[in-house]
Structure formats: structure tokens, C-alpha cells
A and B are shown apart, each in its own frame.
Chain A
Amino acid sequence: MRSFPKKSLLCNKLTVVLISVLVSLFTNVSAQQKITGEIKSQDNLPLEGATITNTTLNIQTISNADGSFSITAMKGNVIVFSFVGYTSQQLTVGDKLVINMTLAESISSLEEVVMLGYSRQKVKEITGSVAIVKPKDLTAVPAGQVEQMLQGRVAGLNVITSGMPGGKSNVRIHGIGNFGDVTPLYIIDGVQGDINNLNPEDIESLQVLKDAGAYSIYGVRGANGVIVVTTKSGKEGKTKISYDFYVERTSPLKGPEVLNPQEQANLTWLASKNSGEVDANGNPNDPYYGNGATPVLPDYLVAGPYTGLFEGDPRVNPDLYNIDFTVGNIYQIIPANKSGTDWFHELFKPAYSQNHTITGSGGNDKNKYLFSLGYLDQQGTLLYTYLKRFTARINTTFAMNDKISFGENLQLSYRDNPQIATQQGPNGNEIDGAISTEPILPVYDIKGNWASLDVNSLGGNPVAERYFAKDNKANYWDVFGDAWTEIYFLKNFTFRSQFGGSMTYHYFYDYSFFGYIPVNNLPNNSFTESSGYQRSYTWTNTVNFSKTFNKVHTLKLLAGTEYISNYNRELGGKRTGYFTNDVNYLFLTNGNPATETNYSFAGISVLSSFISSANYQFKDKYYFSATLRNDGSSVFGPENRYGWFPSVSAAWRLTQENFLQQQSWLTDLKLRGSWGKSGFYGNTDPKNQYTLYGGTAADSYYDIYGISSGSIQQGFRVTRIGEPKTGWQEDVIMNAGIESVLWKGKLRATIDVYKKQSKGLLFPVTLPDILGGATPPNVNVGNVLNKGLDILLGSEGKFSKDWRWNTTITITSYKSKIIKINNLAYFDAPYSEAGIFIARNEVGHPLGAFYGYKVIGFFNDAADVSKSPVQQDAAPGRFKYLDADGNGVINDNDRVFFGNPNPKFTAGINIGFTFKTFDLSAFFYGSFGNDVMNIEKFQRDFFGGPIGAFLTAKSKAALYDSWTPQHQNAKVPIEETSFNFSNVGAPNSYFLENGSYFRNKVLTLGYTFSKRTLQKIKINDLRIYLQAVNLFTITKYTGLDPELSGGSDAFGFDFGNYPNNQKQYLIGLNVNF
């Protein structure tokens, strides 16, 4: 029996007690007063909308149009005056009740306050490596998801995106730290959340925490780096309404160049002759192209069981046509499309997208609110791919009095986002089909029904496959948010309690149709319906102490606890054999009950933690910071459940030292360094510690009574081997950085170097088959080392009063290396048509390196074959492989690492100009020095397959630039009808291409209307803009798009990738009322 004690009630009760104690203790208020005054710029102009914050009482107000303000304060309170673009000022309230403040235009963002781990910090005080992304830069890229918008914006952050609406991106902070999930931890308003449900317009600030000094405080969740997002909140002042909108057109790519039907037939003749597959008359014999000296395109591909027919043949009489099996035998008649079907553009069509966000906000000195509504309809160029997302956000804060405030952030979202299979697997998706379907096959047969050479499945007609998927749905509903209270006590203490979380619910429909059917009453359709929910909550309690001693020593201490609980549950069912294909009829109850399958599963995990940090700063010159977190996770067994995660970091602002203060060119210079530990427990099933038993009808039930059909005897097997000794992955991270501001901000440079040692990576142990077929446990298998360099360069300024420029360059470079894999020398991630294109993860090499035989040329003739090392299937025109060990025989030992999908560096370049009310910006992104494997060549360059089989569309090079005795200096090896070790039957470097590219991601031209014009129509601000996306990509890659995502242990393979380099044009506007 299950026998753990149920102690959770105690936990819940105590929570209630604690909150009531706190509320009762701190609600009696001491004396307060109003401070008033005016805020002006150095030009003596009133500043409207400046923020005045009483940081002691944590209340905020906004200055009015004339710059005036009023705020509650007590003597000794610290008040901060801040305004975007200006240097913040701070003072301690004395006896004066009127305070006038002049703010200077800021030379940098040093005074900006940002949210880091559990606390706010000024940029200049940060001792860790933190990148701050401006929301404006994010939304400058019209992507559906925030992940895609981050590409190129942060030094040290690699993002590989997908063109599929709603497709996941690979987001990697400081290299690749493990063999599984390397996605960073997203903290949204203090709670772990899903970035893909977030409307980018709702983001107020986004910070990327890149080193241990910044993210160790996230403990066992932090090792992949942390991205902290704060959503917008209301500002004091009158109600504001804003509206953001764009509409966009995406054009499909040109598509691959393929042989036309006659050329394809000619290639069939070439390959057949090369392979000696000819009839007695010396000509190949093909069911479609005949038996002549040259191939002849038929008028009809198929009529019933016959192939390769001509007009006038009685067998193509339309009266014979039948695709209804209830009437008789299937007799489909498919014409030959002699001019060739452009399959790529049958599948990829221009697509239109639109995006709307309405935001309303306002408030007074006590209560503030913001709401927003967003709608995104992003259509993909591939038929029936799209992302529709509705979002609503309500953020409010209330100050009950100057001791207690509370608030909430709430986000509701709905997504409908069916996706196609990603390009990570072989044998593809419909994109693979679009590239490889033979042009002679038309889309429709003579009666306008789908043409397919396989009437049972309609396989081979990618448009039909896509059409049948059009009603599939993937719906997601998500409620995400938090409620918090802050209580100020004993002058310098703040207690904060925040309860937040998410509730995600998804519902999928998956229809599948098997063609025109059926011989022998095959089921012709099936319907799968599945759904599940996921709830998680995070309860965080912290106490903050902050005090400045003797005006030069500032000490901030934080201690707290956090409790995170996750639960998910899923169910699904499937039946086949529905009476009709009408989706309005396809419900589970209507399918054949004998085909019913169903399932459900659940998972639960809990994390309980202690958090603490200490910050000390001296005279804005020396900063020291230390964090310590203890995590206890239910994912691991009792003996390895708890971990300590410390970090220390320090910064020194040299420009505050006397010896540098005279340098007029050097505005600010900061050195910083950090050391710390972080952990990772992802990739690990909460059941990992348990040996479990179970079984399904398919894998362990048995018809022991010989009843043949129906309820057979239930059986069990070991489904999972438990390993209670497994613990978390531990990273030790060292980082050193230098931040400088020169010539009052005309130039900025931030450079970081880091070393990240990841130890005890979590990965399933590979067990010998003699232990049976149970799922092996995750164990701590190995170590990975990442080293890298981040460079951020910025420059801004003005040429004249009307002309301004700003430029940002980010450069990201990392090297990952596998240091150790416990029980294996390597593990392979085979991805291919035949299990042969291999990414191998081996000690001493980077993750996902390409491995196999290196092609050094073709065999020129028989003499060349005989003088070369012995190689299986060696023949003229086939690949000659490198004899790596020089022993004269090509075998397994000659496989080498010939490619690396990791880029040498990636760079983002943003250039912006403003001239009066015009703004022009261009954003470029490039990836350099990465290799990719163009697996599409497997189908396109090699004839393969036997004569008469269903072939794939071939490249021009296959016909015109393949090896023949007369054309030895060829690109493509000899065309043959079969695969063998010396053409594509072994993993080799033929598919390797340089994946470097440089792309103009976005070009934007905007115009902002003058306030005077707008006032007449009661509009505050109005900007309209035109944008071009992916205007050009410079690359040597011959496939569709060199940007190829994948897993952390194998990526950079092109199996039919949804391209992300399609040209888009859009028009948008931002308006404030």
C-alpha cells in the first residue's frame, strides 16, 4: 500500500496563520506627511510622467503635466526621482516638505532599476552578468513569439528559430550545458512561466541572467540561465489607451529547382544504364516511360492497375473511373503532368498575418491598473499552418496604507496552433514532400480527386496530406499570474509574500484519413482526441533588509522561502473505422468500439527552497554580493534530494576612483567577476527514483486462453527501473566582465568571458538488453564544458539637432566540449533516411558533431579503385572515402568527425537613425562557422530506388552534373539505381555544407506625427511604420534555409525544415489616446 504520511495540511494551515499574524502586527501606522514639489529638466522644462518613488514605503506617484507631484513620506524615507532617459536622483527626506528636483538627461542606463533574482537593482550596482533587452527592440521583430524576438539581441544568447507559426526555438544561454533540455528558466513577474503564452506587447522589461552571480539564486532550476520578464503595470495619472497593430504578408520562397518530367525520365534512363539494368534491346524498361531508346512520357500515369498509358487506350476511358470501393474495385485514372507540377508552390502560398493589442492603464498614488487585450493571427505559408492567440492581461496594485500594499498580475491566453512534424525526424513531413514529390504527378486526377500512386494512403501527394490535416486542432488555454502583498516594518524591513502560478489546459484533435480505400474493408479513417492540464504554483516569502550606514556603506539582506508544486494530467482516446469522413461526425463514440484505445497519465513534483542573498556596496565604488539557496526536490530520492547553491560576485567601478575621475573620455568603467554554482533537474521524470510495474495490451497482455479477440489477459512488466541515487546536474560557473561607457555614452562596450563546467548531466543510462526492456533511469552521466565570450558594443548620439543615430552590436561565441560520459565512449543521435547520418556525442568533441566517412573524391576508373584502399562497393564514379587510419582498408575505424553544427560566433547588428519625426532602423543577424547537413540531397541528388518505383524529384545536378566517365569532374556521384556503402549507404560528408549566413532580419521605416497635429483629433501619439523582414540572406547553403534547429545533442540537419527566411512586408501603427 502507498504509505507516506499526509502532512500537507500542516503546511497549508501554517500559511494562513502566518499571513494573519503579519497583517495584525503591521497595520498600525505611524505619523505621515505629504511632500510636494516640481520636477524639471536641465532646460528648465517641466517633466510630465516622471516617477517619484518612496522606496522605504514602496509607494509611487507620477508627475503631472506641469511637473508637480505629491507623495506621502516620513522623515528618513528615501525618495527616488526617475524618468526614462534621465539620470535618477535620490534623497532622504529631512524636514523640508517641498522638494524641487532637476533631472539630467542620462548618458546611459546605469541608473535604471531592473528586476533580478527576487529583488530590484540599479544597473550600476549589478555584480553579475546581466543583459537588458529593451521591449522596443523585441517588438521590432514581427514574430509570434518572444523567443524569436530575442535572436541577436543579447550577447551570449543563441537562438535558432523556426518558420512554423508557433514553432519552438532553440534558446541557449552560454553554450549547451546538457544533452537534453537547454531552454532557460523564464521567470515572469516572479513566477516560472511559459514565454510562448505572453503577448510581447505586454513586456515592460526583460533581463537575461547569464552568470552564477545573477542566477545561482534560482538554484536547481537555474543552470540553463534565467530570463526575467516583468510585465507592464499602470502608471499614476489619467487613463491612457494605446493600440498597436500590424498586418503582414509573407511570401513563400522560390523553392528548389527540380528536373522537369522529361528530364526526370532521362535521368531514369541514365541511372538504369549506369546500373546495367537494361532489357535485351539495350534500353531500360519502365512501367511509365516504356522501353525505347529514349524515355517517352505517357499521357496517363495510372489507370486502375495499369501504368504508362496513352490517349486513345480503352483503359483510360473515364467511364471506368471509380474511387468508391462500395461500387466496385478502385479504378483511378491519373493523367501525367508533362509540364510538371510545382509541388513547392502547391503547398506554400502567400500568407497574411495580423496582430492587435489594446492597452489601457492609469491610477492614482495608491491604486494603479493596467489591462490589455491582444489578438494574433499568424498564418504560415505552408497550407493550414497557423498560430492564433488571444491574450488578456489585468495588472493592478493597491496601497492599503503606507505599510501594506498588494496587487496582482493576471494573464489569460488562448492559442490554436496545430503544427506539422518538426524536421528532426527522417522520412518526413509535408515540407519534405513538397521538395521531393515528382513533378509528373498532378495534384488531382481526371475527376478532380486527389492523385496518388497509393490509393490506400494517398501517400506521395503532400497537398492531400496537408488537406486532410486541415481540421486538426491544438488548443491551449492558460491562466497565469500571481498575487502579492508587501508589508514594511521596523523601518528597514520589507516582508513580501507572493503566490503565483499557472493553469494550462490543452485539447487536441487529430484526424487521419487513409485514402480512397480500401481493399478488404480497411478502416479508412481514425480520430484521436486528447486533452490534459498542468497546474503549478509558486509560493514565495521573503524578508528584505536595506540600510545605509554612515552614508557610504549600504547593506541589503534578503532571506526567504519558496515552495513550488507541479501537477499534470492527460488523457486521450482513439477509434478508427468511422462511417464517414465528415469531421462533424468524427467523435469517439461513433468509431468502431473494437478499435478503441485510450490512455491517461499524470506527473507530480515539488520543490521546497530556502533563499538568501546579501549585497554590500561602498560609495558606489565597490560592490559585493553573495547568494545562497537550498533546494529540496521530490524528483530525486531522499539521499540526494537537497542541494546548496552558493555564489559570490563583486564589481569595482574604477571611474569612481580619484585616479580615473579626470578622464573626460571615460564616463564609466566597471570590472566585475563572479563564481557560483547552479543546478538543473530538468530532463528527469519525477518517477525516476522508483522501479515501477505496469503494462498495456500491446506490450504485456496476452491471449493465454486463446480467445483470439476481445479482452485478453492482463499482464505486467517492469516499466521503469528506479535509481534513487540520481541527483541534480551541478554547474560551476565563472565569469569576468568589463563594462564601459565612453564619451558620455557615444560608445558603450561590455565584454564577458566565462567558463561553465556542467557536471553530472542527467541522461538515461544505457543499459544492456539483458536487463530487459524497462525504461532506464536517468543517472548523472557526464560532464560538459562551455567557454565563451560575449561582446556588446553600442553607440548612440546625434549628428545634428534633427539627426540621431544608435547602433548596437552583439557578438556571441561559445565552445562546448564533452568532458566525460560515464558508461559509454559516445552516444549517437542517428537521423536519416537509413539510420546513417550521424551526430555523435563523444568525449573531447562538441555536442552534436557530425561523424562518418569523409568523402575525398570519386573513383575515376577501375585502376583508381584497385590502387586505392580497399573499400566495399568501390566502383568508378562512386565516393572515395578517406582512409583515416592509413591501413589500406576502409572500415568503421575510418569514420571521422567532419563537421560541427555549433557556430564559431553569431552576431546581431542593429542600426537606427532618426531624422526629425522619421525613424529608420535595420537589424541584421548572422551565424558564422557552423556546418549543416543537407539531408534533402539524399533524395534529390541520388537516383536510388529500382526502376518503376515511386521516385522523388531530383536536382538538376543529378542529371547534368553527375559523374560519368566523360564527366569526371562532377558534383554528384554516378547515378545508379541502388544504394550501397560507396554512394549513400554509409554516413558520409557529402551532405555537409557551410551553414553560415548573414541576414537582414528587419528593415523599418517609421513616421511619428507631431503632437500638435494630433491634439486636434484627441490623439496623444501616433506612429506608423513600414517593415520588410528577411529582405536578404547571404549564404552558401543550397537548401531552403540554413537556420536549422534540433535537439541539444543533434541539430543542424535539414530534413524538411520550415524555412524562416521568407520575405515579409508589413504595415503597422502605434497610437496612444
Chain B
Amino acid sequence: MKSFGSLLILIAAIIVIVYACNKKLNQLPQDGLTGQEIANKAGVEGLLIGAYSLLDGEGSTKSDVGSAASNWEYGSICGSEAYTGSIKDDGDVSIERFQSTATDGELESKWATVYDGVQRANEVLRVMKLATDISPDDQKHTTAEARFLRGFYHFEAKKMWNNVPYIDETVTYTSNNYHVANDKDVWLDIENDFRYAADNLSVTPYQNAPGRASKYPAMAFLAKAFMFQNKFTEAKPLLDSIITSNHYHLVNYQDNFNAETKNNAESVFSAQSSVNDHSEGLNGNYGDLYNYPGTGQGPGGCCGFFQPSQYLVNHFKTDAVTGLPDLDHYNDVDVKNDQGIQSSDASFKPYSGTLDPRLDWTVGRRGIPYLDWGNAPGADWIRDQDNGGPYLPKKNIFYQSQVGRFTDVGFWSDNANAINVNLIRYADVLLWAAEAEVEIGSLEKAEEYVNMIRNRAGDPSGWVHSYIDPNDLSKGFSNTPAANYFINPYPDGYFQLHGQAFARKAVYYERMLELAMEGHRFFDLVRWGIADTEINAYIQKEKNLRTYLNGISFKTCNNYFAIPQSQIDLSAGTDGIPLMKQNPCY
């Protein structure tokens, strides 16, 4: 019986051990913050920074070149400013050819990144409700900034796809309410977010951080939302108060595209770029990493994408007498270029006609200083002239003197750089104001705004100058303009004289000159309702230069891109019927 007792003790002991060990089944997660740990002031602030971090278009799971903050593919290439470039069949030419489909990876990249931004903003709002140590003041500005970002990301989706769902902070995995439709117009929601931000943010950004949203950026985006709906009466007072605040000024044109001079008085709101920050280049305009000379020579290591179009270059011709552009016949004669001419052929001389000086800050052309990289040599820096033409992009290029300082030293090339992406700069605000004045205000005022822009461009100190000695760049730049620049403001009363239609055309044209290669043009054409006429005219002419543009045309339904099919499929609930509808055309 003693042994039987022992057995009972044994079995009892095992049972107790099993019970005790079962407590170990509660294992806390390793290497992640739990909801409890983050629900406080510092944690919510961190989530807000995380929401900002997608402004540069990179950092989400599906982020790629398709989600670049600069919208270089959608805004600029689709807007006729540039070709895809590189070599044939490289890159997503289907977007340029308006043949992209619902399974296009780059479109999905954009969609996923902006909605990740939306959810990161929402997470700020969700977690803030659980925190107990955040003062009402901090709650106010944090909510306003989060809603600003939520509005921004939805805006990106809206202009790309038009029929998009609006996702507020109630939509979560846990609530199982994430099967949503895209049948409502989300402009009102976007406006509400920006309006809340404008009403609740102070003029000076929190902690004076230049990357943060503050009152005027919120007003500017609200105005932009109205401009996109042609609600000029709503937009104008906002634009007026931004302008009269005297908070912003036009600066030296090139300073807007230089890491050294970023966040200047012209910057209303920018996506901040940074390098050497242990992100391996991913915060340094990663979405534009292919948009550098592609032959291994010149700045950047890769890959020859995003080459300006002849059509864009032609816009910069000015009248040799008036210094004004020819709004109607700009495209009749091409600015001379070095297509088909080898770099070693020294006989080539650049175009000698009069040009708007902004051209040479916007487009890299042979024989003109490519910042401090030397005179662009033409073909030697072009990956395939036959495919992509003779030009190079320029606004995204860093200076040679900045290599290592404003470029990432750990990235596989020095393409990753700290040049900010201007989301709204003051010139943009002025030109919207000019538009609004054309439509509902005074043509004089519109002309005044346009001339502010032109006068800045006309300041010779801000022009591209030739090198003192092209063979010894260390000697720096001379005071000689690099080309025959000639630009004048519109003479007083010119708009009034030529009427509203002319004024409208002049403002549209000025936007192209001022904002070219900055990812706006296509969306402007769509909101103006002239995308099909403008783009088809472009294709008709340009297909003679770029053979891959043969046999395509732009249809009005191409105003908006295809919604990723995978996302339509995933909008289906248990009944299997997708709630989201595809855009026409696809």
C-alpha cells in the first residue's frame, strides 16, 4: 500500500506540474510594442510621425516607384511632360500609353501606399483615445495634423481614381467593417479633414518643425480641393488670405529643387527627404531612383527614366521681341536638339533662340551646365536616344558638391538624395489664385499673380550660368547666361485686353512652365476638362519621335486610372459580391 500511495503522489505531482507549466502559455510578444505600451503621449506622437513618413511615398509594404511622392509617372509622364525613357520595354510604358490595366503593379503600389497613410493617420486618432496623459492642447494639434494627413492621402487617391472609398478611424480589421464601397463622392470628407486642420492648427508648426502641417498648408490643401472641383468661390478667399498673410515668398527658382535650400519661404508643404539616416536610402526619393542619367556617367548610377518630352521643351520658347510665350504655336517648330548626334561630334551647338530661363532648371540638354556636373554631353548620358529622346530630368538632380552630404552613402548608387518633394509651393498657390481670379475675379489680379511668377523667373541672378571653364569645373560659374534667355512679364492690362479665354490659357500655360516635371500636369489637365484634346494632340505630334506612341489614343475615361482588381475583389463580403466598382474604361 505504501507503493500505491507513492504512485498517487507521483500522479498528483505531475498534474500540479502540468498546471503550473500551463501558466507559461501566456507569452508576451517579442520585439514589438503592444497597444498598452504605445497608448501615451510619446507613443501617439510616434504614430503621427509614422503617418507623416509615407508622405514621401515610400515605407509601406507595397511602396515602389509607382508610389513616388513626386507622381512622376502619373502627373508628369501622363501629362505629356516626359517620356518613360530608359530603353525599350523597360519600366511601365503601359502607363504612358494609357493602357495600364487593373492588374498594374505600380497602380496597386500607389493605392496601397496612400491607404496605408490613411490608416496610419487613423491609428493616431484611435490610440489617442486610449491614452490618458495627453493634454487637450496636444490632442487638438495632434488630431488636426492626423486629419490633415488623412485628407492628403485621400486626396492623392481621389485625383488618381476619382471613385474611391473614404476610410475613417472606425474601419479596422477587428471591427470587421472593411468591406467598403466606392460609390460616394469623398470630396466633402477630404474638405472636412483639411478644414478641421485649418481651424485647429496654428500658423507656426508644432515645435517649429518644417515638416509638419500648420494652418496655411491646411488652408492651401483645402483650396486645392476646391480648385479640383472648380469651386472657385470657396477657394479664392482661402488663397487670398494665404497670399495676404505675407507668410510665403517666391525665392530663387532653383532653391526649390536643392536640398541645401529646402523648406524655404516658398515651401508651403513638402515631403521631407533625408539620407544617411540608417534607412539605406529609402527616405531619399526612393520612388525616383531610376530617374537619373542611365549610362553610368553623370550624376546617379541609374537608369535613364523620366526623360522630358520635346513638347515640354517647346513650351519654353519665348518671343524674341516680347519675351512672352506663343500660347498657340509653341509646338510648330521644335527647339533644336542633339537627337542622333554622338557626344564626340563637337559640331553640335545648342538652340540659339530665345528661351524661358526655367527650361534649363527643368530639363537637362546638351551643352548646358547640368548643375555642377559639367555641360550635359548629350548621348553619352542618355541610355537610348531612340527610345527616350535627347533630354534629361533636372529638378530631381543633386549637385556634385552635395554627394555624400545630401546623397546616401550606403545606397547602391547615390541616387538617394535629400531634395524635398514640393507638394505645394507658393508659386502653385499664386497660380491657383490667378485661375480663380480668371474665373470669378479680376483679370488684372490674375495677371498680377502670373507676373509675380514671371518676374521671379526673369531675375538673371536666378538663371543657369555657363561655367568659367567647362574643363575645370572647380572654377565655378560665370555670370554669362548659359543660353539665350529672354522673358518678360505680360504688359499691364494684357489679360484684360485679350479677355478671359486668353487669360485662362495664359494661366494654364504658366503652370506648365513653372511646375513642369513636378507631377501636377496630368491632374491639372483632367480638372480643367481638357485632358483628351491636349493629350491626343500631343500623341499625334510626338508619335513621330517616339514610335511606341503609335496606335494609341487618350479617351476621356482615361482621366482616371484603373482601380487595382485585387482591391475590388477584396471588397467583397461573405456573399462574394465586390462592393467596389471599377472605373469606366477598364
Contact = CB atoms under 8 A, between A and B. Distances in A.
B11 interface: yes
A247 B119 CA distance: 61
Interface string A699-723: 1111111111111111111111101
A769 B62 CA distance: 9
A773 B263 CA distance: 29
Interface in B405-430: 405-406, 408-414, 418, 420
Contacts of A632: 22, 25
Contact of B47 (A603, A606, A713, A717): A717
Contacts of A523: 409-412
Contacts of A84: none
Contacts of A604: 27, 30
Range, interface on chain B: 35 or more
Given A595-B409, A693-B47, A720-B32, A769 B120 contact: no
B88 A946 contact: yes
Contacts of B296: 454-456, 519
B13 A17 contact: yes
Given A18-B17, A521-B403, A769 B111 contact: yes
Contacts of A721: 173
A21 interface: yes
B46 A456 contact: no
B20 interface: yes
Given A604-B27, A708-B259, A714-B49, A18 B13 contact: yes
Nearest to B5: A25
A268 interface: no
A3 to B, nearest CB: 8
A515 to B, nearest CB: 10
Given A632-B22, A697-B278, A698-B279, A2 B34 contact: yes
B10 A543 contact: yes
A697 B282 CA distance: 8
Given A768-B178, A770-B180, A489 B6 contact: yes
Contact of B14 (A541, A600, A720): A541
Interface string A504-538: 00000000001000011111001000000000000
Pick from A638, A641, A691 the residue with the most CB of B within 10 Å: A691
Interface string A474-507: 0000000000000001100101000000000000
A576 B56 CA distance: 24
Contact of A768 (B46, B172, B567): B567
Given A768-B571, A770-B180, 13 more contacts: A25-B3, A305-B295, A456-B413, A489-B6, A493-B7, A522-B414, A560-B14, A596-B410, A695-B46, A713-B49, A717-B53, A767-B173, A767-B178
A21 B17 CA distance: 14
Contacts of B56: 702
A634 interface: yes
Interface stretch (A6-14, A138-146, A1001-1009): A6-14
Contacts of B481: none
B18 to A, nearest CB: 5
30 contacts: A3-B36, A4-B26, A14-B20, A18-B10, A305-B380, A455-B296, A456-B296, A490-B3, A519-B296, A521-B404, A523-B412, A559-B11, A561-B21, A575-B410, A600-B31, A692-B34, A708-B259, A709-B405, A714-B49, A716-B43, A717-B50, A717-B120, A718-B119, A769-B112, A771-B172, A772-B119, A776-B173, A825-B569, A945-B89, A979-B89
Given A18-B17, A608-B24, A700 B116 contact: no
A811 to B, nearest CB: 41
Contact of B21 (A490, A563, A692): A563
A699 B410 contact: no
A576 B27 CA distance: 37
A21 B52 contact: no
B280 interface: yes
Interface stretch (B209-217, B249-257, B319-327, B519-527): B209-217
A29 interface: no
A770 B276 contact: no
Contacts of A948: 384
B570 A767 contact: yes
Interface stretch (B267-275, B433-441, B472-480): B267-275
A772 B277 contact: no
Q: What 6 pairs across the A-B complex have the smallest Cβ distances? A: A595-B410, A692-B32, A715-B49, A772-B119, A715-B50, A7-B23
Contacts of B418: 703, 708-709
Contact of B118 (A543, A699, A770): A770
B167 interface: yes
Contacts of A519: 296-298, 301
Contacts of A709: 274-277, 405-406, 418
B89 A946 contact: yes
B135 interface: no
Interface in A523-571: 523, 526, 541, 543, 559-561, 563, 565
A770 B29 contact: no
A620 B23 CA distance: 44
B211 A705 contact: yes
A704 B276 contact: no
Interface in B275-299: 275-280, 282-283, 295-299
Contacts of B79: none
Given A634-B26, A721-B173, A769-B112, A702 B53 contact: yes
Contacts of A978: 88-89
B410 A706 contact: no
Contacts of B404: 521
B87 interface: yes
B419 to A, nearest CB: 9
B357 interface: no
A449 interface: no
Interface string B54-70: 01101111100000000
Contact of B274 (A559, A606, A707): A707
A673 to B, nearest CB: 32
B506 to A, nearest CB: 34
Contacts of B274: 703, 707-710, 712
Contacts of B180: 770
B279 A520 contact: no
Given A21-B13, A709-B418, A703 B30 contact: no
A125 B408 CA distance: 69
B188 interface: no
A716 B47 CA distance: 5
A592 B167 CA distance: 43
Given A489-B6, A768-B570, A771-B178, A712 B24 contact: no
B116 A601 contact: no
A605 interface: yes
B119 A770 contact: yes
Contacts of A768: 178-179, 567, 570-571
A8 B24 CA distance: 6
B38 interface: yes
A594 interface: yes
A489 B27 CA distance: 37
A246 to B, nearest CB: 44
A14 B10 CA distance: 11
B14 A18 contact: yes
A606 B405 contact: no
A704 B400 CA distance: 25
B37 interface: yes
Contacts of A603: 30
A577 interface: yes
Interface in A588-610: 592, 594-597, 600-606, 608, 610
Given A700-B53, A703-B272, A709-B405, A565 B570 contact: no
Contact of B387 (A456, A693, A946): A946
B30 A602 contact: yes
Most A CB contacts (10 A, CB to CB) among B26, B380, B571 go to B26
A594 B409 contact: yes
A776 to B, nearest CB: 8
